[in-house]
Chain A
Amino acid sequence: MGTWHEYLKTNGNPPEWPYPIKFGEETELEADVCILGGGIAGCWAAISAARTGAKVILMEKADVRRSGAGGPGCDHWCNVPGNPCSRVDPDTWAIEEMKAGGDFSNGIGIQIQCREDWDTLQEMEQMGGKIRDDKDEFLGVEGRDEKTKLMFSPRYSAGAGLGLPKGYGEPNFNPPEKRNNMVIRIWGSTFKPALKKECKRLGVTILDRVMATSLLNENGKQGARIVGATGLNTRTGEFVIVKAKAVIISAGGSGNAWFMDMEHGGYSSMYSRNNSSDGTAMAWRAGARVTMMEASSPYRIATGLKHKWYTGGGDASYENIPMVDSNGKILPYATQGWADGGAMFSDGPKMRAGIQSGEYELPFYADFAGIDPKEANATWNLMLNEESTTKIMVKTMTEGGFDYKRDQIMNYNMMEFQGSQQYREPGRGGLMVAWDLKTNLDGLYAAGTATFQPGDHSYAAATGRYAGRKAAAYAKSIDAGKVCRDQIDAEKERVLAPTKRDGGIEWKELHNGLCRVMQYYVGEFKSERTLDLALEEIERIEKYAVPQLYALDPHKLMRSLEDLSLIEHAKIMIRAMKERKLSNPKLSLSRVDYPNNDEEEMKYYLALRQEDGKPVFERIPLRYWGNMKEQYEAHNPDYTGVYKPEA
Chain B
Amino acid sequence: MAEKVFAIPNVQTPSVPVRIDPAKCIGCNTCVEVCQIDVFIPNPEKGKPPIILHPEECWYCGCCATDCPTPGAMAFNWPLPLKPRWRNKETGEVHQLT
Interface set of A (CB-CB < 8 Å, partner B) = 1-5, 7-9, 12, 15-18, 61-63, 65-68, 71-72, 189, 209, 234-235, 262-267, 269, 271-274, 303-304, 306-307, 311, 313, 365, 367, 369-370, 388-389, 391-393, 395-397, 400-402, 406-410, 555
Contact = CB atoms under 8 A, between A and B. Distances in A.
A395 B59 contact: no
A409 B86 contact: yes
Q: Which 4 A-B pairs give the minimum distances between C-beta atoms?
A: A392-B62, A62-B36, A266-B59, A369-B89
Given A4-B51, A265-B57, A267-B59, A311 B84 contact: yes
A267 B60 contact: yes
Contact of B37 (A62, A264, A306, A400): A62
Interface string B26-61: 000000011111100111100001111111111111
A269 to B, nearest CB: 7
A313 B85 CA distance: 9
A5 B13 CA distance: 13
Given A66-B67, A273-B59, A2 B54 contact: no
5 contacts: A8-B6, A12-B4, A62-B37, A267-B59, A400-B97
Report whether over half of chain B's contact residues are helix, strand or loop; otherwise say mixed: loop
Interface of B: 4, 6, 8, 11-16, 18-22, 33-38, 41-44, 49-63, 65-67, 75-76, 78-79, 81-90, 94-95, 97-98
Contacts of A234: 38
Contacts of B57: 262, 265-266, 273
A15 B66 CA distance: 26
A391 B78 contact: no
Contacts of A63: 33-36
Nearest to B74: A2
B78 to A, nearest CB: 7
A213 B82 CA distance: 34
Nearest to A270: B59
A8 B4 CA distance: 11
B53 A262 contact: no
A409 B84 contact: yes
A392 B87 contact: no
Contact of B20 (A2, A262, A307, A410): A2
A393 B59 CA distance: 13
A311 B83 CA distance: 11
Contacts of A389: 59-62
